[in-house]
Structure 1
Amino acid sequence: MRSERLLSILLLLQSHGQLPSSELAERLEVSVRTIMRDVEALSASGVPVYTVRGPHGGIALLPGFRTDVTGLTADESRALFVLLSGSAHADLGLGAALGSALRKVMAALPAPHRPDADLTSRRVLIDPVRWRGAPGPDHTAPDLTAFQDAVFTDRRLRLRYRHGRDDRVHTYTLDPYGLVNKAGVWYLVADRDGEPRLFRTDRADSAAVLDEPVRRRPGSELTDVWDLLRRGIDDLPAPLAVTVRVRTDVLAMFLRVHAADLAAPGVAPQTVPPDRADDPGWTRVELRFRSVPAAQPLLAFGADVEVLTPDELRRHLALTSAATAALYAPGRDD
């Protein structure tokens, strides 16, 4: 524990220069007396640390002394600060630990790398949980060059964009906050006419960075705007109640794939007596989807998953399966 505290003192002094002993004590949650003993230990080990007396005094390192405890390159430094969403760390009970770790890494970075690392932490976010009822990414990597340029240089973006609801191309002038990777799909978070909006980068016909500086709303950061937009989508009710039965031997995989579609997310279903005495080894699962087409990914499990209700979904999946089977029927003319 003490060795970790000694390293923290060294990194804080490297990052901030001279600091009062009371501030170091507050940051590290120990007494001033403990800090002074730690400073003596650092000095005895050869670290050129000294105290400055007086009302503006404190603890400092000898000017010019640096120790690179990371050996990180500029790109490696930026990569470390592409953060997972705060909720992902919080769910694991690692929210406080993440903040502490990043502060230590930031303090240890060579000074020229720090601005880029800090900017990356505020402009790029990774959210690993896919939208409820949404299929996975099609693995088509969009060109993010213009988006990154706008995001990291704080300039406005002219976007020609094709919405999913129609086939028309709309042109917008946007004020970007940053980029979010949502379960493998890249989104631009930006203001359009002063209102927060979300744009899938793979639906962009073109993107051009303008010479105009970005006009973000004061006090708004990427994490705040993303959380607002995400909740606006996730909190929408999924009106289609679906009951399926899943073969027990594929249940674990099914629950991983459809975790976001569970009627009670985070609560695993219980194995129930089979619906048919001659067909054991099934588990009933209750799901919610936004629409009948949104439930079509259930077909990926083939005969290992059967939709019990509603009938309209059973008919839709039957027609889709028949059309697919006909497409691959032996002897079909091209």
Structure 2
Amino acid sequence: MKSDRLLSIMLLQTHQQLPASDLADRLEVSARTIMRDVEALSAAGVPVYTVRGPQGGIALLPGFRTDVSGLTTDEARALFVLLSGPAHADLGLDRALGSALRKVMAALPALHRPDADLASRRVLIDPVRWRGAPGPDHPATELAAFQQAVFTGRRLRLRYRHGRDKRVRTYTLDPYGLVSKAGVWYLVADHDGEPALFRTDRALSAAVLDQPVRRRDGTELAEVWDTLRRRIDDIPAPLTVTVKVRDEILAKFLRIHEPDIAAPDPAGSPEADPEPGWTRVELRFRALAAAEALLAFGPDAEVLAPDDLRHALAHKAAATAALYIPRPAA
């Protein structure tokens, strides 16, 4: 069944009867398409019919339900969270996504619309990890207090251990929302009126306060997140690294190190190595220590330059190998 027809059913379940012109406006199609959909739905066994007269329109037999309009509050919220993020824009589907969301929002029971709208503005999914950073290695974080503060519009008292100096500080925050960045959850909030970012897995405690949140007027999560993200992503990465990668693992290598690829410079694009079965890739890192993560690929990826990184990796590999030298029998 076409999505427009399914959405027609959902709208009729919510409103019982609507003029064909109203349905057409809500679904962004023509009234003629709506009438064709009514015929198709009727032929498919859906009890939909037309009512003539000034107060007429398209009606659905009372009591007929579909599973879609029976969404719970959490299901409606989850749908809009999963449809957030930049992936659709990358595929050229951002306009289609916006249209689809408007249709689904209009079709949701009125009770669930505020929750779905709130979820779309308070939770973002960003699948691309930070430049030069490893993947998540922390257990899943308990997000209940963070979600409560975000969705109820309350301030949050956070006791937090910073990653750089390990110091523990306590903050009173005004949350904008939650962002999942490559599997790691972050709280985006104002602290004393300034935007700040907090990894939820570094929180030692989080308490929702009775005080209402004090967000800056007209400022939304997406805007604050973009500002904070750029502060990190735009940090210069001056260390250029040339790596020879075995073709069998090239796709995995590029997927893991996508943020580190020296683009858009064409010289940073992968190119065939003189040795068959290998490809050269140019990467950029902020520091030598960040580039040492390349050792995880073992003999399937060889750093060709710079020499100081080669020496550092050789030292690490030798120290690791020494740990596994068989011990003499007692």
- With normalisation by structure 1, the TM-score equals 0.83
Q: Quick one: distance in 2 between partners of 1:102 and 1:227?
A: 22
Q: Is the 8 A contact 1:160 1:170 kept in 2?
A: yes
- Indicate if the aligned counterparts of 1:155 and 1:211 stay in contact, CA closer than 8 A: yes
Q: Closer, same or farther in 2 for the Cα pair 1:189/1:59, shift >3 Å?
A: farther
2:325 paired residue number:
329
What does the per-residue CA deviation read over 1:63-111, in whole Å, with 9 as the maximum and x for residues that have no partner? 9777334143443332222235442111122223323333343344444
Of 275, 278, 281, 2:277 maps to 281
1:225–1:12: structure 2 CA closer, same or farther, 3 Å change rule?
farther
CA RMSD of aligned residues (A): 3.2
What is the CA–CA distance in structure 2 between the aligned matches of 1:181 and 1:293, rounded to whole Å? 25
Query: CA–CA distance in 2 between the matches of 1:266 and 1:74?
Result: 47
Unaligned runs of 5+ in 1: 275-279
Structure 1 position 68 matched with structure 2 position 69 = no
Runs (5+) with no aligned partner, structure 2: none
Q: 2:246 corresponds to which residue? A: 247
Secondary structure at the aligned position of 1:126 is classed as strand
**CA spacing shift, 1:259–1:58, aligned 2, 3 Å:** farther
For 1:18 and 1:228, the matched residues in 2 are separated by 45
Figure out how many residues of one structure are paired with residues of the other and give that number: 322
Is 2:260–2:283's contact at 8 Å kept on the other side of the alignment? Answer: yes
Aligned to 1:77, what secondary structure does the other structure show?
helix
Deviations 1:269-290 (A, max 9, x none): 121323xxxxx43221100011
Give, in angstroms, the shift of residue 210 of structure 1: 0.8
- The residue aligned with 1:277 is none
Matched letter for residue 105 of structure 2? M
Within 2, Cα distance between the matches of 1:309 and 1:40?
A: 66
SS at match of 1:99: helix
| Contact kept in structure 2, 1:270 and 1:284, CA below 8 Å | yes
CA distance 1:35–1:117, shift in 2 (3 Å): same
Cα shift at 1:160 = 1.4
The answer as to whether partners of 1:259 and 1:265 remain within 8 angstroms in 2 is no
Retained in 2: the 8 A contact 1:241–1:289? yes
Give the whole-Å Cα distance in 1 for the aligned partners of 2:84 and 2:34. Answer: 37
Give the equivalent residue in structure 1 for 2:185. Answer: 186
1:147: which partner in 2?
146
Counterpart mapping for 1:101-180 below 5 A:
101-180=100-179
CA distance in 1, matches of 2:258, 2:265: 7
Partner letter of residue 308 of structure 2?
A: E
**Whole-Å Cα distance in 2 between the matches of residues 203 and 331 of structure 1?**
39
